[in-house]
A = this chain, B = another copy of it.
Amino acid sequence: MLSFENDYSAGAHPKLLQALCEENLVSQPGYGEDEYCRRAAEKIRAACAAPEAELRFLVGGTQTNQIVIASLLRSYEGVLSAVTGHVNGHEAGAIEYSGHKVLTLPQHEGKIDAKELRDWLETYFSDEAYEHMVRPGMVYLSYPTEYGSLYRRAELEAIAAVCREYHLPLFIDGARLGYGLMSREAELSLPELAALCDVFTIGGTKVGALCGEAVVFPKGNAPEHFTSIIKQHGGLLAKGRLLGLQFDALFTDGLYFAAAKNAIDKAERLKAIFQARGIPFFLASPTNQQFVVMPDELLPRLSEKLRFSVWEKADEGHTVLRFCTSWATTDADLDALEEILGAL
């Protein structure tokens, strides 16, 4: 069935499968020590203009968030996040399972605000009762956010400045990073983003890979014994080649960016299709996730024809739906959508 349900319903970009097939019988060391991981890391360092960056390839997003956060926090510290941050609401308590509290900040279309961050820190860092509270140990944000929105350059620079002032590492969750970088409203390049934070991820799962998230410590600042930490969390893949080969292919000849650009182009067309029918948007997203407000009575017929995500109630009688495009979305998919919406 036609699906705009998410950006991970297809397999992988064919070039990644091709790489897996071509190198299949080459014997390689395990656990990320293979030649492909080395090559992929080299190419990502170049793409980030971060020659000292340390990289690790992990399998999935929640796993990555859990491991990165646990590796940076001391036992008594928590992570600051928007209340809508993925780590706060949609990871089944993976952060808390590793012993840390998610300290929440207000969200504005999924984004945190530098001034609110500073106010929070001023309030609590000056509090002598602080030893009875959870100390903040880092700041988490997603780019794009869970609502498809993007931080403007000035917004992110302001947040990064607060983080530096308070000596809090800034972690950018890039599960959908490609879609953020290729958005028509993007103000930040990959090197600029790498320069602004202490650790970030380059999502593969949602941008063309079967699985895989690259963790980048742009200043060569990976935690000591990071491999043991990954292993301890059950995140160390025996056949690291599966990740290395895919990221090597994604960062060869700009494939990661081209794959992401396709999703953006298709999202722009998708927006136009909804706009043409007067279907309002819940918010203005410049990336591959689009949120529309639909009358409830249309949902049964719509869901007979295609798949989408039900996000939340808009009001009595209306629901927010999420439609995603991806590296795999085709114009034929959008033609079909247009036809279905027209027939409603």
Q: How far is the CB of A22 from chain B (nearest CB, A)?
A: 10
Across the interface, A134 reaches (CB within 8 A) one of B96, B135, B241, namely B96
Q: Does A280 contact B (CB under 8 A)?
A: no
Tell me if A's interface is mostly helix, strand, loop or mixed: loop
Q: Tell me whether B211 and A239 are in contact (CB under 8 A).
A: yes
Knowing A17-B17, A100-B96 are in contact, say whether A30-B6 is a contact too (CB < 8 A): yes
Residues of B within 8 A of A6 (CB): 30
Interface segment among A70-78, A159-167, A269-277, A281-289: the answer is: A70-78
* B66 A239 Cβ-Cβ under 8 A: no
Verify B66–A210 contact, CB threshold 8 A.
Answer: no
List 19 additional A-B contacts (Cβ < 8 Å) besides A11-B242, A59-B60, A76-B225.
Answer: A3-B27, A8-B30, A9-B27, A10-B24, A11-B24, A11-B239, A25-B328, A63-B235, A66-B234, A92-B231, A93-B101, A94-B234, A96-B101, A97-B99, A132-B231, A135-B225, A211-B237, A233-B234, A234-B235
Could you tell me which A residues sit within 8 Å of B by CB distance?
1-3, 5-6, 8-12, 14, 17, 20-21, 23-31, 59-67, 70-71, 74-76, 78, 89-94, 96-97, 99-102, 129-135, 205-206, 210-211, 224-225, 227-229, 231-239, 241-242, 307, 328
